[in-house]
Structure 1
Amino acid sequence: MTTAARTATDAAAMRRAFELAARGPARGVNPRVGCVILSPGGETLAEGWHRGAGTAHAEVDALSKLAPGAAQGATAIVTLEPCNHTGRTGPCAVALIDAGVARVVYSVADPDPHAAGGAATLRDAGVDVEGGLLAAEGESFLDDWLFAARHRRPRITVKWASSLDGRAAAADGTSRWITGPDARADVHARRAASDAIAVGTGTVLADDPALTARAPGGGLFDAQPVPVVFGRRRVPADAALTRHPHAPILLQGTDLATDLAALRELGIRSLFVEGGPTLASAFVAAGLADELLVYLAPSLIGGPRLALGDLGVATIADAHRYEFADIRRLGDDLLVVAHPAPNAHARPNEGS
């Protein structure tokens, strides 16, 4: 096989591996991984994918479909660098070596220090290893999982709705509804796309939110974010969120870095922070807002009920800098999406 032909065959097999990986669970601690095993001539011998925690990894799943010795001299095309650790299952790098695989091609290197190193183990055993095939596609496919693995915390979206003058509620505390139905529908769709949704105990006590993701017709989306409550005040036993499809996770909120690391260990890769000025301000002040969603209503309220509280900014040079990523109309309202500016200075509690 010529070099050009082999490259084309590898790329086609990697795209197939992504299709296989997509069959695995999109949420949880483990990444979605797919594997295609090719003969020395480029024919597909076996396929596999990871079905979730405690099940065979993609490489082992594919190898299990072959007779002993059938993988000798074969090429394994894998979406993620083969793991190098023993957990509920053994290291995939060793399984490939034992099967006699001669060549391994992967898309994205594993950033998890507990699992990384598979490529080096394979090379030490004489296996030809190539990384970075369709890397951009691999990074996009594994986006949330890679972020959580690299930063040791979930990706965090902070959302609020306000009037044009930045008020989240009227002086008497009423806030339903600042924005219209199109904006609210957008929020619920984004909730459904998140692993978890967070509020503070103040919001629970004041508004008794259900924290579910609802379709425009009022029914629940199939995918529901796990409710997370930050704060030391007790959540009432009859609170609406106690009837959520998922059991709520209760966190003290006194050490966000520790709390977020705990959420990551529970398989939470993306967190939708929605609950009140106090919680939103805490995340922004700590440099932990990876995305801002600001829903602006064409109204003026005035008064003390600001969407954000104190951020510890004493002078304009200390302002938290963001870049506009998107601005769109949603009915009568406006959605502004912003991400941290690349040159924004790091905050003390920011993940790294």
Structure 2
Amino acid sequence: MTSTTSTRADSASPVETAALRRAFDLARRGPAMDPNPRVGCVLLSADGTTIGEGWHRGAGTPHAEVAALADAAAQGHDTHGATAVVTLEPCNHTGRTGPCTEALVAAGVRRVVVSVEDPNPLAAGGAARLRAEGIDVLAGVLADEGRQVLGAWVHAVERDRPFVTLKIASTLDGRIAAADGSSRWITGPVARQHAHDLRAEVDAIAVGTGTALTDDPSLTARTADGSLHGHQPLRVVVGLRDLRDDAALRGPGGELVQVRSHDPHEVLVALAARGVRHLLVEGGPTLAAAFLRAGLVDEVHAYLAPVLLGAGRPAVDDLGITSIDGALRLVTRTVLPLGPDVLVVATPEPPAQES
């Protein structure tokens, strides 16, 4: 087996790279909706043998590095001279738990391999702290994969606002309701269940008051048997009008939050103050257009049914675009068949760089 001791300081060995991919798998075991990031850690001995593994199980629990050290200790392994392979830069601050940097120093770790440097100014500085203790630190290994594991969390921290996913469920010609206003059901049960599972992975769902008053949605996340998912996101209504006293949104489910504004920026500020990292904008066309015009949509989930209406309400209201040259173009990331329907996941095309 390749020894980690022979690894150059500016590169990761094959053993370390494999350990990092294992750490990604461990990180995914953590809760997707937690305010803290999903992080995994693998400890390697000097000869490249795995001696401990850990992941962060949620706010208030030991961080991945501490969990891996505890795992190594439980197996009777000595961590002096070990290499810690971590998906996110070890924290250097005291919150609900102590700094991971101090735990690594105390354990005698010799080298730390990091995928993503921590963008959170409150927790950053771990690499510098470790280097000050004479520990070799290599950061930026498989960083793109590491960012995918961190998901919405890393975007929310970097941009100081929630990551926004716009969800659309429409016919092939972009209609979400027929001319008479009927809309149930455009997509089939497989697509609808996928959308419910998506709700269970976000912190909040937003609709406009028009949708709330017209459709009377409950905005719950439900399992295939119709019961509530264990996690229920905040249910956010955007707009100035009051809800009815008997609205479904007042029934079982996540907390109801009304943001009395038409400004998407104000909506995100209000939700960020509540710790929201990932917002799902579900409707209707007016709210979707407002977030798109403001440039605040990070990802689009478009559920497309093989149905044509030719008339009816569009999925997105007027964006103020008058020419094809001004079209908001997206980059397709995933195409997933869901029964008779298709899910297209796309992200806004980055603006062209001026030469």
Q: CA deviation at 1:231?
A: 2.0
> Aligned residues, how many?
344
17-26 vs 329-338, which deviates more? Answer: 329-338
TM-score, normalising length from structure 2?
A: 0.81
Change (3 A) 1:310 1:204: same
Q: What's the secondary structure of 1:119's corresponding residue? A: helix
Q: Which runs of 4+ in 1 moved over 6 A?
A: none
Query: 2: distance between equivalents of 1:34 and 1:162?
Result: 38
96-105 or 11-20: which moved more?
A: 11-20
Q: In the alignment, which residue of structure 1 is the partner of 2:65?
A: 59
Equivalents in 2 of 1:219, 1:147: separation in Å? 31
Could you say which residue in structure 2 is the equivalent of 1:239?
247
Q: Percent identity?
A: 55
- The equivalent of 1:25 in structure 2 is 31
Q: Structure 1 residue 252 and structure 2 residue 255: aligned?
A: no
2:287 maps to which residue? 279
Give the Å deviation of 1:200. 1.3
Q: Is the counterpart of residue 38 in structure 1 residue 44 in structure 2?
A: yes
CA RMSD of aligned residues (A): 3.3
Q: Which residue of 2 aligns with 1:299?
A: 308
SS at match of 2:13: helix
Letter in 1 for 2:318: D
CA apart distance, 1:23? 3.4
Unaligned 5+ runs, structure 1: 346-352
Query: Within 5 Å, which residues of 2 pair with 1:77-156?
Result: 77-156=85-164
* CA 1:4–1:85: 2 relative to 1, 3 Å: closer
DSSP 3-state at the match of 1:174: coil
Partner-residue secondary structure (3-state), 1:168: coil
Match of 1:348 in 2: none
| Superposition deviation, residue 330 in structure 1 | 5.5
> Hey, what's the Cα distance between the residues in 2 that align with 1:50 and 1:336?
31
Find the aligned partners of 2:112 and 2:49 in 1 and give their Cα distance.
15
Matches within 5 A, 1:210-229: 210-229=218-237
Deviations 1:82-138 (A, max 9, x none): 112232223222332344322211222112222122111211222111123343432
Quick one: which amino acid aligns to residue 230 of structure 1?
V
Q: Contact conserved, 2:172 with 2:304, CA < 8 A, in 1?
A: no
Deviation at 1:13, TM superposition (A): 3.3
Question: Which residue identity does 1:86 align to in structure 2?
Answer: T
Q: Is the 8 A contact 1:38 1:45 kept in 2?
A: yes
Change (3 A) 1:332 1:79: closer
Q: Distance in 2 between matches of 1:74 and 1:332?
A: 52
Q: 1:30, CA displacement in angstroms?
A: 0.4
Secondary structure, aligned partner of 1:53: coil
Among candidates 174, 195, 210, match of residue 187 of structure 1: 195
Map of 1:322 onto structure 2: 330
Q: Give the 3 Å change call, closer, same or farther, for CA 114–44 of structure 1 in structure 2.
A: same
